Amino acid sequence: MRDAKFRRQFPIGPYFADFCSTERRLIVELDGAQHAERSREDEIRTSFLNSRGYRVLRFWNDRVLANVEEVLGAIDEFLSGAKTA
Protein backbone atom coordinates (compact mmCIF):
# COMPACT_ATOMS: atom_id res chain seq x y z
CA MET A 1 0.00 0.00 0.00
CA ARG A 2 2.25 2.73 -1.24
CA ASP A 3 4.82 1.88 1.43
CA ALA A 4 2.56 3.16 4.20
CA LYS A 5 3.13 1.71 7.64
CA PHE A 6 0.12 1.49 9.94
CA ARG A 7 -0.04 1.17 13.70
CA ARG A 8 -3.01 -0.54 15.31
CA GLN A 9 -4.99 1.11 18.15
CA PHE A 10 -2.85 4.24 18.00
CA PRO A 11 -3.70 6.89 20.64
CA ILE A 12 -4.43 10.43 19.44
CA GLY A 13 -5.73 12.72 22.15
CA PRO A 14 -8.69 11.06 23.86
CA TYR A 15 -9.21 8.61 20.98
CA PHE A 16 -7.64 5.42 19.65
CA ALA A 17 -7.38 5.13 15.88
CA ASP A 18 -8.08 1.62 14.57
CA PHE A 19 -5.18 1.94 12.12
CA CYS A 20 -2.93 4.99 11.80
CA SER A 21 -0.13 5.88 9.43
CA THR A 22 1.63 8.73 11.20
CA GLU A 23 3.95 9.30 8.23
CA ARG A 24 1.05 9.62 5.78
CA ARG A 25 -1.28 11.29 8.31
CA LEU A 26 -3.99 8.77 7.49
CA ILE A 27 -6.38 6.97 9.82
CA VAL A 28 -8.42 3.97 8.73
CA GLU A 29 -11.46 3.28 10.89
CA LEU A 30 -13.42 0.02 10.74
CA ASP A 31 -16.98 0.61 11.88
CA GLY A 32 -19.42 -1.94 13.21
CA ALA A 33 -23.19 -1.65 13.49
CA GLN A 34 -22.97 0.46 16.66
CA HIS A 35 -21.62 3.34 14.56
CA ALA A 36 -24.92 3.66 12.69
CA GLU A 37 -26.39 5.05 15.90
CA ARG A 38 -23.32 7.13 16.81
CA SER A 39 -22.92 9.28 13.71
CA ARG A 40 -22.75 12.54 15.68
CA GLU A 41 -20.00 11.17 17.95
CA ASP A 42 -18.12 9.94 14.89
CA GLU A 43 -18.39 13.41 13.31
CA ILE A 44 -16.91 14.98 16.44
CA ARG A 45 -14.14 12.39 16.52
CA THR A 46 -13.33 12.88 12.82
CA SER A 47 -13.31 16.66 13.26
CA PHE A 48 -10.86 16.33 16.15
CA LEU A 49 -8.58 14.01 14.14
CA ASN A 50 -8.76 16.34 11.12
CA SER A 51 -7.77 19.25 13.36
CA ARG A 52 -4.64 17.27 14.26
CA GLY A 53 -3.73 16.98 10.57
CA TYR A 54 -5.09 13.48 9.93
CA ARG A 55 -7.40 12.35 7.16
CA VAL A 56 -9.89 9.64 8.10
CA LEU A 57 -11.19 6.82 5.90
CA ARG A 58 -14.10 4.78 7.28
CA PHE A 59 -15.20 1.34 6.18
CA TRP A 60 -18.01 -0.84 7.49
CA ASN A 61 -16.82 -4.12 9.01
CA ASP A 62 -19.08 -6.17 6.74
CA ARG A 63 -17.54 -4.52 3.66
CA VAL A 64 -14.06 -5.44 4.88
CA LEU A 65 -15.09 -9.03 5.59
CA ALA A 66 -16.90 -9.41 2.26
CA ASN A 67 -14.18 -7.93 0.08
CA VAL A 68 -10.92 -7.04 1.76
CA GLU A 69 -9.19 -6.58 -1.61
CA GLU A 70 -11.68 -3.86 -2.55
CA VAL A 71 -11.04 -2.03 0.73
CA LEU A 72 -7.27 -2.33 0.37
CA GLY A 73 -7.61 -1.03 -3.18
CA ALA A 74 -9.61 1.97 -1.95
CA ILE A 75 -6.93 2.74 0.65
CA ASP A 76 -4.19 2.35 -1.95
CA GLU A 77 -6.06 4.61 -4.36
CA PHE A 78 -6.43 7.24 -1.65
CA LEU A 79 -2.73 7.03 -0.81
CA SER A 80 -1.75 7.36 -4.46
CA GLY A 81 -3.12 10.90 -4.40
CA ALA A 82 -1.94 11.71 -0.87
CA LYS A 83 1.34 13.39 -0.05
CA THR A 84 3.58 12.37 2.81
CA ALA A 85 3.58 14.60 5.88
23 to each of 7, 52, 62, how far by Cα in Å? 11, 13, 28
Residue 60 β-bridge partners: 31
What are the boundaries of each domain within the chain?
7-81
Counting beta carbons within 10 angstroms of the beta carbon of residue 22, is it exposed (0 to 12), middle (13 to 18) or buried (19 or more)?
middle
| Residue 74 contacts residue 67 (beta carbons within 8 Å) | no
Each residue's pLDDT tens digit, 21-36 = 999 999 999 987 665 5
- pTM value is 0.82
The CATH code that applies to domain 7-81 is 3.40.960.10
Each residue's pLDDT tens digit, 51-68 = 999 999 999 888 899 999
Residue 73 has pLDDT above 70, yes or no: yes
